[in-house]
A and B are shown apart, each in its own frame.
Chain A
Amino acid sequence: MSATLFRQPYLDGSKIKVRMRYRLSVKAFLVHLSLALLGLIIAVPLYWTVMSSLTTNDSLFTGAITWIPPALHVENYASAFQAAPFGRYFLNSAVVAVVVTAITLLTSALAGYGFAKLRFPGRNVLFAVVLAALMVPFPAIMIPLFVLVRQLHLLDSYAGLIIPGAVSGFGIFMMRQFMSRLPDALLEAARLDGCNELQIFWFIVLPSSRSALAALAVLTFLASWNNFVWPLLVVQSPDYTTVPLGLALFRGAYATNYTQILAASLVAAAPVVLLYLAMQRQIISSFISSGIKG
């Protein structure tokens, strides 16, 4: 499916291309016009956000839209960072997202390989548990999860922030689906060469699963970075506040400091936007293959 996502040349492409070039005008105009109008609905709010983050509070919400600010107030960014410990929030978000992603990749790959290629009693029952866990929506378990984490004295700690994100039925399922397509002959050959299962996993299975691992890594990192609900439940101090939560708190505290809120929002979005710009095709494919959106 992902193979057909991006335009493949048709086998008879030459013919079509020639014909297209002559019929270009009207059709191309209409298609571009429609896409541009729809694109404006996406782009204008984003453009306004960037521009408004560079103006002053007084020039916002005057009833007129300022498309090009008369002067660029870059200092909004600095003052937002002074008004709240966003540096700390970024550190927290980065720690949580990196650790969550690392744990998810490792445990999902291990379990995915176990389910895909190894035989052991209870395999089907345990895999049914994975599928069940995959289908549980987070709001259905957030309260007992909060109670559990509180009992474990993990409220307001990195461990408390990391745990639910690092537990992923989805990751196990995704890796299992990918790894069951790896040829048995490959693993067999390694086995005959005297590799034990851990060596096969490390030297054969993991390198062959790079694309699936990358997709899982991207999805997990984005989900963790953007997560709001769980930090809202478990965090009680700025020491463990993540960027989305910190941003929401900042807006709550300085509700009318619009330009600073916008500046902080853009900085909060910057890491995922940069990641997206850097590997946009892989990210879009990952979202398609996963069938999920947080």
Chain B
Amino acid sequence: MYEQLGKVDSRPYSKRRVLAHMTLAQRRAIIGLLFVLPGILPLFIFVVYPMVSALYLSFTNWQLVGTPVLQGFGNYTDLLGDTQFHQSLIVTLEVAVGTALPSALLAFVVALLLDARVRFTGWYQPLFFLPTILPTVVTAIVWSMFYQGNGIINAGLGLAIPWLTDARWALPALIFMLIWTNLGYFTVIMLAGVRNIPHDYYEAARIDGAGAFRMAWHITLPLVRPVLLFVVVIATSNALTLFAQPYLLTQGGPAGATRPLAELIYDTAFSYLNIGKATAMSFILLLLSLLVVYVQFYVLRPKDI
């Protein structure tokens, strides 16, 4: 017994104790569970349960009062032929693509400019990032004034476009506001990617006689491609949860032209009181975002973000 004392046990602490006394292992198990319980239990009640509940409700017919009546796949088959639903799926996709590509491109350009090692450019980054932290309600309300007939956009550019009331212009107007909001966020992500590129590459290119544009095109762009794709993924998942901005800017109008899926879910549940249909759409939204997560984790695998 005593000869064991001198030996150094190289196994990790937990293994040693588990092997030595089982009761201690039980105690540690309880301690571990007690640590995670305050965080985990609410997740079960307020995330997992609502998820299951959404699936259940999507098979029912319910107007928020009384008891839900099971009706099978009715809500899902309804959605197949529902033009509002199709329209909002398309709007969501258009917002995703319409914000992702210009944002990625602009963020790349701004990141390159900020990284150009020119003096006194330090204060631009905080300025570009400022719209990201503004409350969405504030941004949307202020932009709804910019887009007015006599607002600063028309006045400044000498135009007379009914931005928010014309079905052709409302979606581009929404998308432009979203790009404005998130440009700073995407820029700092892109900047981090740009600054992760080893400086040697540029030195080598400079010795070979490459200029700034050729270096940006042949070195920076290929090496930040994972970050570009990351921006696309984030813009897509933002589009899937987009609600407050169109709700405040256009109420989803005109005629649903700016109503993304999340807003249609809200309207279906609380304006039309069709909980079954709304939760069926919620479940489809969940599947779509799982698809995005799948792309993010298994296709892109960004190493450093």
Is B290 close to A, CB under 8 A? yes
Tally chain B residues at the interface, Cβ within 8 Å: 108
* Chain B binding surface, main DSSP class: helix
Q: Are B150 and A61 in contact (CB under 8 A)?
A: yes
With A61-B150, A144-B57, A291-B305 as contacts: A111 and B39 at CB distance below 8 Å:
yes
Q: Are B141 and A261 in contact (CB under 8 A)?
A: yes
Is B135 close to A, CB under 8 A? yes
Q: Which of A62-70, A75-83, A209-217 contacts B (4 or more CB under 8 A)?
A: A62-70
Q: Which of A114, A146, A225 has the most CB of B within 10 A?
A: A114
- Chain B neighbourhood of A73, CB < 8 A: none
Is A186 close to B, CB under 8 A? no
Is B125 close to A, CB under 8 A? yes
Q: What separation, in Å, do the CA atoms of A172 and B42 have in the docked complex?
A: 12
Q: Which of A39, A45, A63, A222 has the most CB of B within 10 A?
A: A45
Give the shortest distance, in Å, between A113 (CB) and chain B (any CB): 6
Q: What separation, in Å, do the CA atoms of A43 and B151 have in the docked complex?
A: 16
Q: Which of B69-77, B78-86, B166-174, B186-194 contacts A (4 or more CB under 8 A)?
A: B186-194
Q: What separation, in Å, do the CA atoms of A65 and B234 have in the docked complex?
A: 35
Q: Are B138 and A265 in contact (CB under 8 A)?
A: yes
Q: Are B39 and A287 in contact (CB under 8 A)?
A: no
Q: What separation, in Å, do the CA atoms of A136 and B64 have in the docked complex?
A: 23
Q: Are A111 and B40 in contact (CB under 8 A)?
A: yes
Is A178 close to B, CB under 8 A? no
Q: Are B141 and A248 in contact (CB under 8 A)?
A: yes
Give the shortest distance, in Å, between A213 (CB) and chain B (any CB): 14
Query: B188 is contacted by which of A7, A119, A222, A288 (Cβ under 8 Å)?
Result: A288
- Chain A neighbourhood of B240, CB < 8 A: 137, 139
Closest to A166 in B: B42
Q: Are A197 and B35 in contact (CB under 8 A)?
A: yes
Q: What separation, in Å, do the CA atoms of A44 and B196 have in the docked complex?
A: 32
Q: What separation, in Å, do the CA atoms of A166 and B45 have in the docked complex?
A: 12
Closest to A21 in B: B119
Is B301 close to A, CB under 8 A? no
Is A268 close to B, CB under 8 A? yes
With A143-B265, A248-B137, A261-B141 as contacts: A114 and B36 at CB distance below 8 Å:
yes
- Chain B neighbourhood of A113, CB < 8 A: 35
Q: How many A-B residue pairs have CB under 8 A?
A: 305
- Chain A neighbourhood of B43, CB < 8 A: 129-130, 133, 167, 169, 172
Closest to A164 in B: B46
Q: Which of B12, B28, B35, B150 has the most CB of A within 10 A?
A: B35
Q: Are A288 and B137 in contact (CB under 8 A)?
A: no
Q: What separation, in Å, do the CA atoms of A211 and B261 have in the docked complex?
A: 37
Query: A145 is contacted by which of B29, B50, B118, B142 (Cβ under 8 Å)?
Result: B50
Q: What separation, in Å, do the CA atoms of A12 and B168 have in the docked complex?
A: 54
* Chain A binding surface, main DSSP class: helix
Query: A4 is contacted by which of B31, B33, B196 (Cβ under 8 Å)?
Result: B196
Q: Are A141 and B282 in contact (CB under 8 A)?
A: yes
Query: A269 is contacted by which of B49, B135, B266, B270 (Cβ under 8 Å)?
Result: B135
Give the shortest distance, in Å, between B81 (CB) and chain A (any CB): 22
- Chain A neighbourhood of B142, CB < 8 A: 45, 49, 262, 265
With A49-B142, A118-B28, A293-B238 as contacts: A248 and B248 at CB distance below 8 Å:
yes
Q: Are B29 and A121 in contact (CB under 8 A)?
A: yes
Is B295 close to A, CB under 8 A? no
Q: Are B188 and A5 in contact (CB under 8 A)?
A: yes
Q: Are B53 and A63 in contact (CB under 8 A)?
A: no
With A45-B152, A169-B47, A272-B134 as contacts: A107 and B39 at CB distance below 8 Å:
yes
- Chain B neighbourhood of A20, CB < 8 A: 117
A-B contact pairs, 11 of them (CB 8 A): A5-B188, A27-B118, A110-B36, A143-B269, A147-B64, A169-B47, A184-B12, A233-B270, A287-B185, A288-B305, A294-B136
Known: A114-B32, A147-B57. 6 other contacts (CB 8 A): A49-B142, A197-B31, A251-B248, A288-B188, A291-B230, A291-B234
Task: Report the 8 A-B pairs with minimum CB-CB distance, sorted nearest first.
Answer: A120-B32, A111-B39, A114-B35, A139-B262, A144-B50, A118-B32, A114-B36, A144-B53
